[in-house]
């Protein structure tokens, strides 16, 4: 889903549906060892193995089957007129607003699994949190959309790209040189009188 952010002053967007598959991939780090442990218990007792499998695998899988889709549906991200906004959560809902004038840095982040699924996160930092932890994260967006959101967020926060900064510096330098020439000309004219 492509979002034309530049045209609208307020836009709502959501993470990629691939978030659901990503979270199931993350859960494999738990389920594979849990299934192996319950399988090893079969050497000692079949009942212990079945009980362990039910407790360690079946119940958590049922819980995730309920939680992951509901978590995905709960996520709302917005770039509004004066702030960035995120709301998500199934049982405990988190809602965060960060005014653009407090944004000190915007980073695009992408891990190995995210690259596999074509996803990325946009981290928003403020001076209060420093560079250790983002104040707000737009997570698991399509990589192209994440890049677009990061660019729009930087523009709304007034963070210049290196190219934009260079153009402005060159304009300032040209203006200073013109002022210097004008002052030298005025100095020569007043000295000749």
- Tell me the residue range of the domain where 118 lies: 11-157
Give the CATH number, domain containing residue 101. 2.30.29
Rg, the chain, Cα only: 27
- Taking alpha carbons only, the member of 158, 161, 152, 4 closest to residue 79 is 152
**pLDDT of 110-131, one tens digit each?**
999 899 999 999 999 998 866 6
> Does the residue 179 lie in any domain?
no
Token pair listed for 100: 């653009």
Q: Would residue 126 count as lying in a domain?
A: yes
Q: Is residue 15 part of a domain?
A: yes
When divided into structural domains, the chain yields a total of 1
Residue numbers of the chain with a pLDDT score lower than 70 = 1-8, 129-131, 192-193
Whether 59 is covered by a domain: the verdict is yes
* Residue 2, pLDDT score: 46
* pLDDT for 10: 82
Cβ 85 vs Cβ 94: under 8 Å: no
Q: Is residue 133 part of a domain?
A: yes
Give a yes or no: residue 131 inside a domain.
yes
180 located within any domain: no
Any domain includes 165 = no
User: Residue 67: exposed, middle, or buried by beta-carbon count in 10 A (0-12, 13-18, 19+)?
Assistant: middle
Q: Find the helix packing angle between 18-40 and 46-53, rounded to 10°.
A: 160
Q: What is the pLDDT of residue 190?
A: 81
CB 103 within 8 A of CB 84: yes
Q: What is the pLDDT of residue 166?
A: 86
């Amino acid at each position: 889903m492509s979002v034309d952010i530049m045209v609208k002053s307020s836009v709502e967007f959501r993470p990629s549906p691939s978030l659901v598959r990503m979270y199931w991939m993350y859960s494999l780090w738990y389920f594979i060892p849990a299934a192996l442990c319950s399988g090893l218990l079969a050497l000692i007792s079949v009942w212990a193995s079945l009980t362990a499998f039910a407790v360690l695998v079946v119940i958590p899988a049922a819980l995730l089957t309920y939680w992951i889709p509901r978590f995905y549906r709960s996520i709302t991200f917005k770039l509004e007129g004066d702030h960035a906004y995120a709301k998500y959560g199934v049982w405990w809902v988190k809602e965060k607003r960060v005014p653009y004038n407090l944004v000190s840095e915007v980073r695009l982040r992408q891990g190995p699994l995210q690259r596999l699924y074509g996803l990325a996160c946009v981290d928003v930092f403020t001076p209060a949190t420093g560079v250790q932890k983002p104040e707000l994260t737009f997570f698991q967006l399509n990589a192209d959309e994440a890049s677009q959101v990061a660019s729009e967020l930087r523009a709304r926060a007034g963070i210049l790209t290196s190219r934009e900064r260079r153009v402005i510096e060159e304009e300032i330098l040209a203006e200073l040189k013109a002022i210097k020439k004008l002052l030298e000309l005025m100095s020569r004219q007043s000295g000749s009188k």
